[in-house]
Chains A and B, each alone.
Chain A
Amino acid sequence: MAGPDPKAPALREYFPAIPALQPGAMAGAKSYVANDKIQESLGFPGQLAESWQDTHDAVIAKMGDLLGKQRAFKVYMDACVHCGACTDKCHYFIGTNDPKNMPVARQDLMRSVYRRYFTLPGKLFPKLVGARDLTSEVLDEWYTYYNQCSECRRCSVFCPYGIDTAEITMAGREMLDSVGYGQKYSNEIIAKVHKIGNNLGLPGPALTNTLEGLEEDVKEDTGIDVRYPLDVQGAEVLFVTPSADFFAEPHIESLIGYGKVFHAAGISWTLSTKASEAGNFGMFIGNYDQLRKIALRVREAALELGVKRIVVGECGHAWRVAYSFWNTLTGIGAGADDPFAIQLQSQLDHRYKQPMHICELTWDLIGQGAISFDKEANDHRIITFHDSCNVARGSRMGDSPGGQFEIPRNIIRAVANHYVEMAPGTTHEQTFCCGGGGGLLTDDLLDLRIKGALPRMETLQQVVDSHGVNFMATICAICKAQFTKVVPYYGFKMSMIGGVHQLVSTAIRLGDK
């Protein structure tokens, strides 16, 4: 797997030393631009306008529009004091040394233009306050560096005003899309969701085949008929999971695990062709309409199938969207008083959290003694856990803050005997992004992805050396795909990467139903 080119950076000797700046180091890493077909299928202009002036005016108008609609964007444009606290917090900066990958510098690419067009000093004395005109070079720079941010929010943890660069990146991508300058990878995927139902473009029949094959495999493996049902009317649980779970390795191992949990607990469940994708790249491009449209598929599927509960599989940004945004976007949740949301909420069973994360479900079942394990089955594994950014910093599990850290760890400890924590300051809410989130999981950014993984690879190396760790569990489809791709560049085996429910799958007792 490990090719000679591109190369992983060397692990830092005096970890965690702060790198010296290398201006322009990543100026050339430009993700592929979406073609007009993709752009237009999402309702964006196909390409940049003929005249620069038109593009210029449209961008500024869009910026004004967003400033009026998004409090976060507006406040964050004003509030930064250039204190520098965030400068060394971004994994892309740490891995690339490019100063424009420092969160505040990434924001300033936008802020400089904001100041020029929307503030008095910027209009009067641009030089003084670091304001600049919007030129086509500036727009290119936005494209380059807003597609080098994984929207992981690590910087927002440390900023004294909570300035979240992810919000600025989203606004930047939204402005770019609105003038016909979108990113190929993300927009192509969104187009696929609308056309086929999931990010990978798996049509219904392929899904049926895959799931039947899976049932046979599990039968062969365990001797037990575990079901992986699709589009079952009246099932209790609608299960929504990232489409990578249907066929990618190691994702599918977790899918097997989810099915075993439902089987062992005797819960009737179903997947849905319509909602065969938990992921929602609408968030990545910062477009509310897309975010909402993609989320509405889940609402429709839930109404059609008449389910009582909605449970979400292992996927980081999908869980953020589900947990934090679904209630707003689609009414999946509780506590609404408007007809739109009540229609769905009256159907759901509110003894359970809506929506619920599969880890919450599994952990509840463990607590009730409804499922049990042969922990020894995981004895060949020495496990560590990588917190995924969107779960860690954009969502919650369970009843109290921080449940998103405890519950997955509790599950791992319940199903396996050897668990090791990575270095403090790089886990929980301070976790490092895998390097491939936020719409950057594309081969045209492979160099960036490898470099962005550096801080996580360093801490992984530490526990490999000190404890012989041979398995890094995560609950995110993007983390799994990114890590299996980049760990070989750092000398690790791909098979080290897997899901929490892969561990559950290994150890769960299925009984002889």
Chain B
Amino acid sequence: MSLVFAALFYLASAVLVIGVARKIVDYWRTPAPLLIPTTPAPTTQGGVVLRMFRELAFFESLFKANLWIWALGWLFHVSLALVVLRHLRYFTEPVWDWVAFIQPFGMYAGFAMAAGLAGLWARRFLVERIRYISTFSDHLMLALLLGIAASGLMMKFVAHTDIVAVKTFFLGLMLFDIQPLPGDGPLYAHLSLVALLMLAFPFSKLLHAPGVFFSPSRNQADNPRERRHLSAWAAKLEAK
């Protein structure tokens, strides 16, 4: 079983990294021929960085749009971030101080994450408009994330897993030295679902994560009168 999971994680990591990198390169290379920031927009690059930061850290636009979605979405993402950071302890020896520091918050963030997900999922059933736009994969994605959260919480609070052994497994994995993985159900479930999420990432709506950085309506400075903005294919038209 250790070998199966080792192989799975090598595969999932490769797909995730290569898949997302290819997408980023693709977005990067695709020209944005016209300046289309949604105004009012910052007039300088520094201002754009600030706008992006507000979007990423506080979900500024979503806050303006709908408080429910904002609250649930923000709760989920912040908790997810804490939980992911907490998991760094399985990949570092000795554990970094700040990772040790957030450990207690990270544990409870697991619950918050599950609550956020449950709320977001409930909207897909309860709100007519959102029911209308939801596809099967939207539900699956939520099920997947909720499954990851639930199995993780199980191991922490119900059926303890030998986390020392888990850590040995992952540290070994990083050095291509496969160590035994403890054989228990919730752990297998947890790891399989995480691998599945990693595999799905480059092909799904999870691309919103890299995508947000490339959204011209958010990442362009509003300075068209001061600077001439010209994409390569548009410049060719002038040569004619």
Contacts and interface: CB of A to CB of B under 8 A. Distances in A.
Contacts of A82: 130, 133-135, 138, 205
B90 interface: no
B240 to A, nearest CB: 11
A289 B240 CA distance: 13
Given A85-B69, A323-B224, A335-B227, A74 B61 contact: no
Interface residues of B, number: 63
A104 B127 CA distance: 15
Contact of B133 (A70, A84, A119, A156): A84
Contact of A102 (B27, B42, B129, B225): B129
B42 A401 contact: yes
Interface residues of A, number: 80
A136 interface: no
Contacts of B40: 396, 401-402, 404-405, 429
Interface stretch (A158-166, A221-229, A300-308, A452-460): A158-166
B205 A78 contact: yes
Contact of A162 (B134, B204, B217, B234): B217
Interface in A323-341: 323-328, 331, 333-338, 340-341
Interface string A241-256: 0000000000000000
Interface string B156-188: 000000000000000000000000000000000
Nearest to A394: B39
A146 B34 CA distance: 21
A128 interface: yes
Contacts of B42: 401
B43 interface: yes
A163 B203 contact: no
Contacts of B31: 69-71
Contacts of B34: 324-325, 328
Given A86-B65, A161-B208, A127 B136 contact: yes
B91 interface: no
Contacts of B230: 328, 338
B97 interface: no
A70 B33 contact: yes
A130 B215 contact: no
Contacts of A160: 55, 59, 61-62, 65, 73, 208, 212
Nearest to A430: B64
Given A327-B225, A328-B230, 19 more contacts: A69-B30, A75-B27, A78-B208, A82-B138, A85-B69, A86-B65, A87-B129, A88-B129, A105-B133, A128-B137, A156-B38, A158-B61, A160-B55, A160-B62, A162-B216, A164-B38, A328-B234, A337-B228, A401-B40
Interface of B: 23, 26-27, 30-36, 38-43, 55, 59, 61-62, 64-66, 69, 73, 123, 127-130, 132-138, 140, 203-205, 207-208, 211-212, 214-218, 222, 224-230, 233-235, 237-238
14 contacts: A21-B128, A74-B26, A81-B205, A82-B138, A121-B204, A156-B217, A160-B73, A162-B218, A324-B36, A325-B35, A327-B229, A334-B227, A338-B230, A396-B222
